[in-house]
Amino acid sequence: MSRREAHLVGGTHPEAVRLAPVALAMREAGLLEPVLLAAGPHATMVTEALGAFGLEPDITLQAEPSADGRAEALTAMIRELDELWSVRTPAAVIVQGDTTTSLAGALAAFWRRIPVVHLGAGLRSGDPGSPFPEEGDRRLAAQVAALHLAPTPLAAMNLLDEGIPARDVLITGDTVVDATLAVAGRKPPFENPDVAAARVAGTNRLILVTAEPHDRILAAVRDLIDRYPDIDVILPGHPDPEARSQVDTALAGVERVTVTDPLSYPDLSRLLSEAYLLLTDSGDLLAEAPSFGVPALVLRDVTERVESLYAGCAELVGPDTALIVSDASALLNSRVRRDAMTAGGNPYGDGLAARRTAQATAALLGLAPAPEAMPVTPHIADAILNG
C-alpha cells in the first residue's frame, strides 16, 4: 500500500452511518487509506448503511450470532479482529460509540499495540445500569483509547473529569450530523412506497415518531391526531413481528397515521428534514434533528444526550401520555415557541466533524498538524455550563 491504513470498525447501522463520512474525509485528505470493516452479526445492515454514501465494506468478518450470549459474541469478534490484524496491521483503528463491536475493536487493537481512536467518546448517563450495557462499554473503551474524539464540550468535560489527559481529547462534533446533512441535502426520492404516498400532498405538518412500542406513546399519537386535523404522523415500524403487531393494533383505522417497515437511512433523513416535530427514544435522531430546526420530545426517562436538554432543543417527557400530548400541543399551537427551541443551533456539530476526525487521526500518527476543535457558540456553552 502506498499509504498507511486506518481500519474503521463498524458492526451496526448507526456505527456505519457515523464512520462513512470519516472514510470519505480520509480519502479526500489523502494521508491515510481508510479500510471499512463490517464486524459482528449485522454485516448486512452495515452494508446497507454504507450504500447510502456510495461505500461498501472493504472487509467483512463473519462472526455468527451466538445463542450463548454477549460474552461469546465479544470473544468471537476479538478473535477474528486479532487474526486479521496479525497479518494486516493498520496504523490506527477507529471505533465508534458503545456497542459490543466497538469494545471488541478497541480491546483487540490495544492488545496488538495499535493506537485506538474512539469516535463519539465521552457520552455518559451517570448510571452504569442505564443504558445497559452501553454505559459500561463506552467507559471501558475510554481506558484503552489513545485519542478521544468527543462530540460535544460536555462529553469532553466528562473525559477530563475521569482523568483523561487534555492533550488526548478533541471536540470534533458528531459525524452523524455530517451524515444526515449530506444525505438529506440530496433530497433522494423516497424508497418506501408508503412514505412516498403519505408525503405526496405535503401540506400537513409532519410528526415523526421513532420509539419502542409502548401503549402510552401510541395513545398519545391517537390523541394528537384527534386534536389536530392538520398533522400527519409517520411511525417507522419495529422489525420484531410482535412489536409491529402491537403498533398496528393500537393504530388500526386511525387516519393520517402511516406505519411503515423499518426505513432506510436516506428515507429517515429526508423525513427528519421535513418534520415539524420529532417524538423519539433515539439518541442518534436527537443529534441530527437540530440541524434541520426540528425540536424533539424524548420518550425516555433518562438520556445520555443531555446536551439537547441543556441547549433547549429537546424536552424529556418519557412514555407519559399526558405529558407527551401537553408538550406536543404547546409546540403545535405556537410556531414561535417551536422555532425558538432550535434557534441556538445544533450542540452536536457543524457538519465538519469527519474532517476533524480524519486530520486528528493523521496527527496522532505524525502525518498532519492537529486540527482546531469545533467552535462552540456562546449560547450553547452557557446552556451546557449552566445546565
pLDDT in tens, 361-376: 999 999 999 999 999 8
The pLDDT assigned to 115 comes to: 98
Instruction: Give 63's pLDDT tier (boundaries 50, 70, 90).
Output: low
Inter-residue contact 50 to 36 (CB < 8 Å): yes
| Distance in angstroms between the alpha carbons of the first and the last residue of the chain | 49
Q: What mean pLDDT comes out for the span 220-225?
A: 97
| pLDDT tens track for 289-323 | 999 999 999 999 888 788 899 889 999 999 999 99
| pLDDT tens track for 91-108 | 999 999 899 999 999 999
Instruction: Give 110's pLDDT tier (boundaries 50, 70, 90).
Output: very high
Residue 342 has pLDDT above 60, yes or no: yes
Instruction: Give 67's pLDDT tier (boundaries 50, 70, 90).
Output: low
| pLDDT tens track for 28-38 | 999 999 999 99
Nearest by Cα to 183 from 269, 291, 285, 294: 269
Query: Which domains are present in the chain?
Result: 5-174+349-385 (3.40.50.2000), 192-342 (3.40.50.2000)
CB atoms within 10 A of CB 298: 24
- Locate cell 456510495: which residue? 54
- For all residues of the chain together, what is the average pLDDT? 92
Give the list of residues 6+ apart from residue 187 with CB closer than 8 angstroms, or none.
270
Q: Say which residue, 238 or 98, is predicted with more confidence.
A: 98
Amino acid at the residue 104 = A
The pLDDT assigned to 384 comes to: 58
The pLDDT assigned to 381 comes to: 64
The pLDDT assigned to 22 comes to: 98
Residue 229 has pLDDT above 80, yes or no: yes
**Rounded CA separation 166/143 (Å):** 14
**Rounded CA separation 207/85 (Å):** 46
Q: Say which residue, 42 or 220, is predicted with more confidence.
A: 220
The pLDDT assigned to 1 comes to: 45
pTM value is 0.90
Residue 66 has pLDDT above 60, yes or no: no
Radius of gyration of the chain (CA): 21
Q: How far is CA 120 from the centre of its chain?
A: 9
The pLDDT assigned to 380 comes to: 62
Q: What mean pLDDT comes out for the span 55-79?
A: 83
Q: Which of 22-26, 87-91, 375-379 has the lowest mean pLDDT?
A: 375-379
| pLDDT tens track for 172-207 | 999 999 999 999 999 889 999 999 999 986 689 999
3-class DSSP string for the chain: CCCCEEEEEECCHHHHHHHHHHHHHHHHHCCCEEEEEECCCCHHHHHHHHHCCCCCCCEECCCCCCCCCHHHHHHHHHHHHHHHHHHCCCCEEEEECCCHHHHHHHHHHHHCCCCEEEECCCCCCCECCECCCHHHHHHHHHHHCCEEEECCHHHHHHHHHCCCCHHHEEECCCHHHHHHHHHHHCCCCCCCHHHHHHCCCCCCEEEEEECCCCHHHHHHHHHHHHHCCCEEEEEECCCCHHHHHHHHHHCCCCCCEEEECCCCHHHHHHHHHHCCEEEECCHHHHHHHHHHCCCEEECCCCCCCHHHHHHCCEEECCCCHHHHHHHHHHHHHCHHHHHHHCCCCCCCCCCCHHHHHHHHHHHHCCCCCCCCCCCCCHHHHHHHHCC
Inter-residue contact 117 to 92 (CB < 8 Å): yes
Amino acid at the residue 204 = N
| pLDDT tens track for 247-266 | 989 998 899 999 999 999 99
Residue 133 CA: distances (Å) to CA of 100, 196, 271, 366: 9, 37, 30, 35
In this structure, what C-alpha cell is assigned to residue 332? 403545535
Residue 15 has pLDDT above 60, yes or no: yes
In this structure, what C-alpha cell is assigned to residue 137? 462499554
Q: Are strands 33-38 and 59-60 parallel, antiparallel or unpaired?
A: parallel
Q: What mean pLDDT comes out for the span 115-139?
A: 90
